[in-house]
Amino acid sequence: MQRFDVVVVGAGPAGSATAIRLAREGGSVLLADRSRFPRDKPCGGGLTGRALRHAPCDVSPVVEHVVDRFELRLNYGRRFARRHASPLIRMTQRRRLDAHLVEQAAAQGVVVRDGCRVEGVAPDETGVSVRAGGEHLRADVLVGADGANGVVARAIGVEDGIVRGVALEGNVAWSAVERARYDGTAVIELGVVPGGYGWVFPKGDHVNLGVGGWGTEGPRLRDHLARLARAHGVDPAALCEVKGHRLPMRTPGTPAAVGRVLLVGDAAGLVDPLSGDGIYEAFVSARHAADAILAGDLAGYEGALAAALDHHAGASWAAKRAMDRSAAACFWAARAPGVFGVVAGLLSGEVGHPSEARGLARPPLRLLARLAG
């Protein structure tokens, strides 16, 4: 039986970031993933400034496009755009980002086993036994980073309190769209999918189109995506690499740890309810999980995680309710003076919560808060 200080199940951003931070401090770490790398992973692929503040390493080698302009449109009709003086989002692909993070983990001394499926998890008072890839492993701590459909959360009975959303996306070559409109621009379509939105994101050699919303929208997502494509002059049949994925959204108070098992990233339901982004939450949860393990204070992980994420998540849930009740009100509030500055600050990490807004941005944001109820 092989023994490690920590076994991390899942080599997405949360799992690799946790492994990197632990190995950097001298821990013996196994990072296991059922897929072979590089592998595709459905995701909008946006790296916000606030996410980069918590990244475990430099990710600039996999950045394909830089966004400094947002365009918002309501029900495929009225629209407006705002540009920011500095980058708002750096675009990548999860195939490239995840492979890069795995390489960085290996460089730090992490034992990486891709193509290794975890078949069983058995925690006890002194550690965790893991059956993976036909081998029996033993670790002091197990970190579950195996995503929305992972085995670790199920094995420890932590699934209640997570709301499931869904998303569907596809890609087209730049030649299929008007480059001048989308270059450096993230397009957000409001009021087109219950519980979510549509998007058009520029990448290196293609443009990513996607829609996401409540889990109940699953049977209608293909129709939503086709309508989005046509609204941007793209033949739906031209979309390639069309993939769907689940969006696990944690409600405050949902457990993220049981004994010697900690959950990070999507496995803990740490997807932003409003944006559907999970990379920021992945990096933050990885940092706090690693800190708790290194300090020998596993019981402190959930409190640290809640302190870092729950306040912002509460604002996102409120904004999501407001969006569902009136996408038009959200659209017009976003046009109000000062509001885009708050949005840019939230994306960069310079603003921690909408309540920090000052001046002309406060009245429209208060209106949305009342709408959220």
- Tell me whether residue 367 is in a domain: yes
Q: What percent of the chain has pLDDT above 90?
A: 90
Tens of pLDDT, residues 36-95: 999 988 788 999 999 999 999 999 999 999 999 999 999 999 999 999 999 999 999 999
Cα gap 263→75, rounded to integer Å: 37
**Cα(277)–Cα(293) distance, integer angstroms:** 26
Q: What local confidence, expressed as pLDDT, does residue 345 receive?
A: 94
Q: What is the mean pLDDT of the chain?
A: 95
Whether 258 has a pLDDT exceeding 90, the answer reads yes
For residue 9, report the phi and psi dihedrals to the nearest 5 degrees. -100, 115
Residue 292 lies in a domain: yes
Predicted confidence (pLDDT) per residue in 302-359, tens digit: 999 999 999 999 999 999 999 999 999 999 999 999 999 999 999 999 998 999 999 9
222/278 same-domain check: no
d(CA 198, CA 40): 21
**Domain residue limits at 200:** 68-90+163-248
Q: Are residues 207 and 283 in the same domain?
A: no
Residues 41 and 99 in one domain: yes
Burial of 173 per CB tally in 10 Å (0-12, 13-18, 19+): exposed
The domain tally of the chain equals: 3
* 123 cis-preceded (ω within 30 degrees of 0): no
**pLDDT (tens digit, 9 = 90+) per residue, 110-123?**
999 999 999 999 99
* CB contact set of 88 (below 8 Å; sequence gap of 6+): 48, 49, 67, 68, 69, 70, 186, 344, 347, 348
Cα-Cα end-to-end distance for the chain: 54
Give the pLDDT band of residue 7 (cuts 50, 70, 90). very high
Are 145 and 181 in the same domain? no
13 and 104 belong to one structural domain: yes
Confidence at residue 252, expressed as pLDDT on a 0 to 100 scale: 82
